[in-house]
Structure formats: structure tokens, C-alpha cells
Amino acid sequence: MKGKPSLALVRNDTLKATPGAVKAIIAAAKRLGIAILDEKDAARADALVALGGDGSMLSAVRAYASLDKPFLGVNIGSLGYLAATPLEGAEEAMRAWRDGETTLDERSMLRAQVRRGGNGRAGRPALALNDLVASREGTGRVVALDLSIDGCDIAQFRCDGLILSTPTGSTAYSLSAGGPILSPRAEAFVVNVICPHTLSSRPLVVPADSVVSVRVAAAEGPVAFCADGTVCGRMRRGDVFVATTAAAKVSLVALPDADPFEPLRCKLGLNYSTVRKR
């Protein structure tokens, strides 16, 4: 970095709700000789600080991924899987970043567009760091979704919906729906059905360059299309969304000797039993 290093605090909705945490970050940055920029000046910053929980991190990525800046997540929420640095450790994390002791953990994203009637007008592209979801909305009835991968028809599922999850998002909604945990560095993503009306459905792990198409074959109401928990549009019978791994990646600031499996053990309760010694 040339000149004085700078960080921008992003997502003002969270910042307004946590003035004490904001003051603590600004005071620590001042002690370290780091300039703190306003959100409107994010494009001029060397890195972006997302202050809050994982939702704040996802919101920040959605808003600023196009700037190609690294993100430092400071957790003041409950889980803190993506925003892994606790507030009390923020000053040390900023010092390590300033001194070049951190690394950049690159995470893949998914990109998708909805096409009306399958081949009709395409909606605005959606990017997701965690997952893309198509799920029934406003009705208790299941929907029928046709799944194809790389042009090959896989199956039609009568279900509540379907999740496409990145390796990062494999510990989020997909995990709750019985999906596998992927290493953040895996070159793959997960296709997972939500509450399928069958005993034989299983999650699929597909290569990162796969093209996945999900068509609404039948639905008695709208089907919500969501990216990282935010509704991006609604689908009806005949509509299709087509998804693949995005060309761009998100860079997360990782502290020295960071253990990517530590959050699984400490925050998600991952625990493998061992054979008792006699």
C-alpha cells in the first residue's frame, strides 16, 4: 500500500445501530495510523470493514463486490462465521492487515439469471456468496422443479424448493437442509432439494464450471428466487433460472495461522467421536 493505509466502514444500516462499536473501530484505527473512510468513499479504500454479523457481511459483499476490494469482517452478531473477527480482536486484526501479516482468502460466488418462459426476457443477474434459492411462497403446496446440469435432465422434484450453495454457503441453509460441508477452497458447488416429496433425493456436489438450470414445472403460487437470503424476483410456471460459478471472486482478509475449521468446531458444534481407550 502506498501512503497511509485506509479502511472504509460499509453498510450504514448496521453502523447506525451500533454507534459504540463504530467508535471503537475508529479509535483503534487512529491508534494504528489507519485512515477510516466513509461508505461513500469505499472505492478509494484499500479494504472494506463489514461490522455486524454474517448478514452484514453478505450485504456488504452484495453491494461492493464489484469494487474488487478485500473484506475484513468484524463480528458483533451471534454466529460470526464469515465475520470471524470479534470486536475485541479488531485492533489486532487491523494491525496485522496494516503490517502485511494477513492473507487473502478467495471465495467463489454463484451467478444466475431468471428467464421468463425459459427462453424469454432475462432478469437482472444475481450474485451470491452463500447460496441461490428457489422456494415456494405464499402457499402451503409443494412446487415441481425440473433440474438439469450441463444440458442433461436430472430429475423433477416435488418439494418446497431448491438450493444452490457455494463452498462458503455449504455451512448455511444447505447444511440445515441436510447438505454436505465443503472446504472453502473446493472447486465445486452443491445442489440440494428442500423437503423433497420422496425418500430417494440426495444432495449433489457438482464441478465449479457446471451450468445448472432450474425450471418451475408446476406451482400454484409464485416461487421466490433469492440470493443470499434476499428476494431478487419471483418465478412462475415455465420460468427458468440458470446458474454457474461467477467469474469474480470475493477476497476475505484472513489472520495469520487462521484455521478454516475452527468455526465449525466452536460455532457449529462439529465433533467426531473417538474410540475410547481401555
Q: DSSP letters of the chain?
A: --SS-EEEEE-HHHHHH-HHHHHHHHHHHHHHT-EEE-GGGGGGSSEEEEEESHHHHHHHHHHHGGG---EEEEE-SS--SSS-EEGGGHHHHHHHHHTT--EEEEEEEEEEEEETTTTS-B---EEESSEEEEEE-S-SS-EEEEEEETTEEEEEEEESEEEEE-TGGGGTHHHHTTPPP--TT-SEEEEEEES-SSS----EEEETT--EEEEEEE-SS-EEEEETTEEEEEE-TT-EEEEEEEEEEEEEEE-TT--TTHHHHHTS------PPP-
* C-alpha cell read off for 105: 482468502
Residue of 38, 46, 54, 99 with catalytic role: 54
* 54 is an active site residue: yes
Residues with active-site annotation: 54
